[in-house]
Amino acid sequence: MTTTSVLKKIDTLKAKIDAHRPLDTHMLKQVREYFRIGMAYSSNALEGNSLTETETKIVIEDGITIGGKPVRDHLEALGHSEAYDLLFRLAKNQDITEANIKELHRLFYYRIDAKQAGKYRKRRVIITGTDFIPPTPERIPVLMESFIAGLPVTKAKRHPVEFAAIIHREFVTIHPFIDGNGRAARLLMNLAMLQAGYPVAIIPPVLRRDYLDTLSRTHKGDDGAFINFISGVCYESAKEYLRLLEG
């Protein structure tokens, strides 16, 4: 399907979801908790976290550790859960600030490395599996300032799902943090989705190769494939959201 046709399908689903609003407190809580676990599991798994979705749920909801699994994997689950809560607080606003981005990263990362959490990297990084070279540390403050300044213009010109995909792509291209940039990008993408009234989007780990391949193409000037990919996962996530409401 073309991106345009997928976006129309997403908007149709959004209209059906909106017809159920406002959700009662119980249903809203259940849906948010469902996606909390799904997002934490999938986003971390894309980066190599070994926890299963069930194990992620146990760690987050019950505070129980999983035998034989790395400590870091547990900390990533807990950190993502905290950052997820911040998304809904920030979604009440219509802008995205540099402080918002730093705080999302800080909440996700402070248990892992408090000194680096929410702070731009001071060292160069190499991304394995790609020939893309992130900007040098000296350029990051200016690039992030320009990124933030350009958001309102891009938002006004593009469909909300396209805007979310572009935010994701531009952020990981800058790669401002020493680690956790992919997860921060997906949180940021979902913040844009929530601010526009759309459900959060989950990228299943099974689609990791397609995700990385289309993202890699954006570094060579081809945004189309990545925007189409993100549109597809947004469509599937919206279908799942509606299924929960009508279940």
Residue 131: what pLDDT? 84
Sort residue 118 into left (φ over 0), alpha (ψ -120 to 50) or beta.
left
Residue range 173-180: average pLDDT?
Answer: 97
Identified catalytic residue from 74, 80, 168, 175: 175
Q: Which of 50-59, 82-91, 215-224 shows the lowest mean pLDDT across its residues?
A: 215-224
How far is C-alpha 72 from the chain's CA centre? 19
pTM of the full structure: 0.96
Closest CA to 188 of 221, 223, 224, 155: 155
Instruction: Identify whether 175 is a catalytic site residue.
Output: yes
CA quadruple 177, 35, 229, 175: dihedral, nearest 10: 0
Residue 28: what pLDDT? 96
On average, the pLDDT of the chain sits at 97
Instruction: Give the CATH H-level superfamily of domain 3-246.
Output: Fido-like domain (1.10.3290.10)
The structural domains of the chain, with segments of one domain joined by +, span 3-246
